[in-house]
Structure 1
Amino acid sequence: MPLLLTGPPATADSDDTALQAAFAEAADRYGVPESVLLAVSYLESRWDGHDGAASVTGGYGPMHLTDAATALAESTARGHHAEGAEDPRGDDSRPLPAANRADAGTNPGAHVEVDAVQAAARTLPHAAELTGTPAEELRTSEAANVAGGAALLADAQRALGAPASDDPADWYGAVAAYAGAETREAAEVFADDVYDVLATGVSRVTDSGQRVTLAPVTVTPDTAVADALGLPSGGRDPEVECPRTVACDWIPAPYQDLGDGDYGNHDIADRPDSQDVDYLVIHDTEATWDTTLDLVQDPTYVSWHYSLRSSDGQIAQHLRTKDVGWHAGNWYVNAKSIGLEHEGFLTDPDAWYTEAMYRTSARLVRYLARAYDIPLDRQHIIGHDNVQGPTNANVAGMHTDPGPYWDWSHYFELLGAPFHATAGPRGGLVTIAPDYDTNTTGYVNCGSPGQQCQPHGSGAVRLHTAPRHDAPLVRDIATHPGDGESSTGVNDVGARASAGQTFAVADRSGDWTAIWYLGQEAWFHNPADAPTAVNARGLVVTGRPGATTIPVYGRAYPEAAAYPPDVPVQSVVPLAYEIPADQEYAVGLRTDSEYYRAVTFDPADHQVVRGEEYYQIQLGHRIGFVRATDVRLGWSGR
Structure 2
Amino acid sequence: MKKYKGLFSHVRWLVIAILFGSLMIGLSTNQVHAKTSSLETAFQQAANKYQVPVNLLKAVSYNESSFESHGGQPSVAGGYGVMHLTDTTGLIPNGANSKAEKVPNAASLHTLQKAAKLTGISVSKLKSNTTANIQGGAALLAAYQKSLGKPLTTNSASWYSAVKKYSQSDSKPAAEFFAANVYQILAKGVHKDGVTITPQKVNALKDEAVDSTKGESAETDGPAGLPIQWIPALYKEFDDQGDYGNYDLADRPNDQKINYIVIHNTETSFQDALSLFSTPTYSTANYVVSSVEGTVAELVRPQNVAWHAGNWYINSHSIGIEHEGYAAVGGFWYTENMYKSSAALVKYLAAKYGIPLDRQHIIGHDNVPGLNPTAQKGMHWDPGTYWNWNHYFDLMGVDLSQSQGDGSSSVITITPNEKYNLTAASGQKVTDDGVTLPLAGSNFVYLYKQPSFSADLIADKDFSTGQSGTTEKNDWSDKAVYGQQFSKIGDNGDWTEINYGGQSAWFYNPGGANSTNATGKLVTVKGTKAVPVYGSAYPSESILKKNKVTGVKPTPIYQLQPGQKYVYGGTVPAEYFNSHFNSNSAKNVIHGNNDYYQIQFNHRIAFVKASDTMIVTH
Normalising by structure 2, report the TM-score: 0.88
**Matched residue, 2:42:** 22
- Deviations along 1:180-225, whole A, 9 cap, x unmatched? 2113221111011111222233344xxxxxx441333313232423
1:263–1:601 CA contact under 8 A, matched in 2: no
* CA–CA distance in structure 2, aligned partners of residues 375 and 234 of structure 1: 29
Superposed, which structure 2 residues align to 1:112-151 within 5 Å?
112-114=101-103, 116-151=104-139
* CA–CA distance in structure 1, aligned partners of residues 123 and 200 of structure 2: 36
**Matched residue, 1:363:** 344
Name the CA shift for 1:57/1:459 in 2 (closer, same or farther; >3 Å): closer
* CA–CA distance in structure 1, aligned partners of residues 337 and 418 of structure 2: 18
* CA–CA distance in structure 2, aligned partners of residues 232 and 427 of structure 1: 46
* CA–CA distance in structure 2, aligned partners of residues 219 and 349 of structure 1: 40
Correspondent of 1:382 among 363, 367, 375: 363
- Deviations along 1:347-369, whole A, 9 cap, x unmatched? 24744311222111111111000
1:65–1:145 CA contact under 8 A, matched in 2: yes
- 1:600 deviation in Å? 4.2
Correspondent of 2:525 among 536, 543, 559: 543
Of the structure 1 ranges 593-602 and 295-304, higher mean CA displacement relative to structure 2 is found in 593-602
Instruction: Give the SS at the match of 1:293.
Output: helix
**Matched residue, 1:592:** 573
Letter in 2 for 1:19: L
Correspondent of 1:337 among 318, 329, 338: 318
Correspondent of 1:246 among 221, 226, 240: 226
Superposed, which structure 2 residues align to 1:251-400 within 5 Å?
251-259=231-239, 260-348=241-329, 350-400=331-381
1:440–1:457 CA contact under 8 A, matched in 2: no
Aligned residues: 582
- 1:404 deviation in Å? 2.0
1:344–1:352 CA contact under 8 A, matched in 2: no
Name the CA shift for 1:117/1:232 in 2 (closer, same or farther; >3 Å): farther
Letter in 2 for 1:457: G
- 1:510 deviation in Å? 2.1
* CA–CA distance in structure 1, aligned partners of residues 190 and 418 of structure 2: 16
Name the CA shift for 1:349/1:466 in 2 (closer, same or farther; >3 Å): farther
1:271–1:322 CA contact under 8 A, matched in 2: yes
* CA–CA distance in structure 2, aligned partners of residues 489 and 355 of structure 1: 26
Q: Is 1:410 matched with 2:391?
A: yes
Q: Is 1:504 matched with 2:478?
A: no
- 1:394 deviation in Å? 1.1
- 1:113 deviation in Å? 4.7
Correspondent of 1:445 among 414, 431, 452: 431
Superposed, which structure 2 residues align to 1:123-202 within 5 Å?
123-202=111-190
Letter in 2 for 1:462: Y
- Deviations along 1:264-289, whole A, 9 cap, x unmatched? 11111111111000000011111222
2:247–2:282 CA contact under 8 A, matched in 1: no
* CA–CA distance in structure 2, aligned partners of residues 508 and 596 of structure 1: 44
- Deviations along 1:325-360, whole A, 9 cap, x unmatched? 111111100110001111221224744311222111
**Matched residue, 2:468:** 485
- 1:556 deviation in Å? 1.0
2:212–2:225 CA contact under 8 A, matched in 1: no
Name the CA shift for 1:264/1:484 in 2 (closer, same or farther; >3 Å): farther
Letter in 2 for 1:197: I
**Matched residue, 1:103:** none
* CA–CA distance in structure 2, aligned partners of residues 9 and 434 of structure 1: 21
**Matched residue, 1:461:** 445
* CA–CA distance in structure 2, aligned partners of residues 479 and 347 of structure 1: 18
- 1:477 deviation in Å? 2.1
Correspondent of 2:514 among 508, 519, 532: 532
* CA–CA distance in structure 2, aligned partners of residues 56 and 598 of structure 1: 36
What 5-or-longer segments of structure 1 have no aligned partner? 1-7, 84-105, 205-210
- Deviations along 1:290-330, whole A, 9 cap, x unmatched? 22222122232510011111112111111100111111111
- 1:588 deviation in Å? 0.5
- 1:437 deviation in Å? 7.0
1:253–1:299 CA contact under 8 A, matched in 2: no
Letter in 2 for 1:632: M
- Deviations along 1:436-484, whole A, 9 cap, x unmatched? 57634644433xx21111231222111111222222212212323x545
Of the structure 1 ranges 390-399 and 452-461, higher mean CA displacement relative to structure 2 is found in 452-461
Q: Is 1:425 matched with 2:445?
A: no
Q: Is 1:570 matched with 2:552?
A: yes
* CA–CA distance in structure 2, aligned partners of residues 544 and 507 of structure 1: 22
Superposed, which structure 2 residues align to 1:619-630 within 5 Å?
619-630=601-612
Name the CA shift for 1:132/1:49 in 2 (closer, same or farther; >3 Å): same
1:598–1:605 CA contact under 8 A, matched in 2: no
Name the CA shift for 1:139/1:428 in 2 (closer, same or farther; >3 Å): closer
2:421–2:508 CA contact under 8 A, matched in 1: no
Letter in 1 for 2:41: A
Normalising by structure 1, report the TM-score: 0.86
- 1:508 deviation in Å? 1.7
Letter in 2 for 1:182: D
1:478–1:484 CA contact under 8 A, matched in 2: no
2:499–2:565 CA contact under 8 A, matched in 1: yes
- Deviations along 1:82-139, whole A, 9 cap, x unmatched? x8xxxxxxxxxxxxxxxxxxxxxx6xxx76555x454422322222222233333333
Of the structure 1 ranges 149-158 and 57-66, higher mean CA displacement relative to structure 2 is found in 57-66
- 1:30 deviation in Å? 0.3
* CA–CA distance in structure 1, aligned partners of residues 44 and 503 of structure 2: 53
**Matched residue, 2:499:** 516
Letter in 1 for 2:78: G
Instruction: Give the SS at the match of 1:284.
Output: coil
* CA–CA distance in structure 2, aligned partners of residues 329 and 216 of structure 1: 47
Instruction: Give the SS at the match of 2:510.
Output: coil
**Matched residue, 1:37:** 57
* CA–CA distance in structure 2, aligned partners of residues 117 and 325 of structure 1: 32
1:383–1:402 CA contact under 8 A, matched in 2: yes
Structural RMSD (CA): 2.7
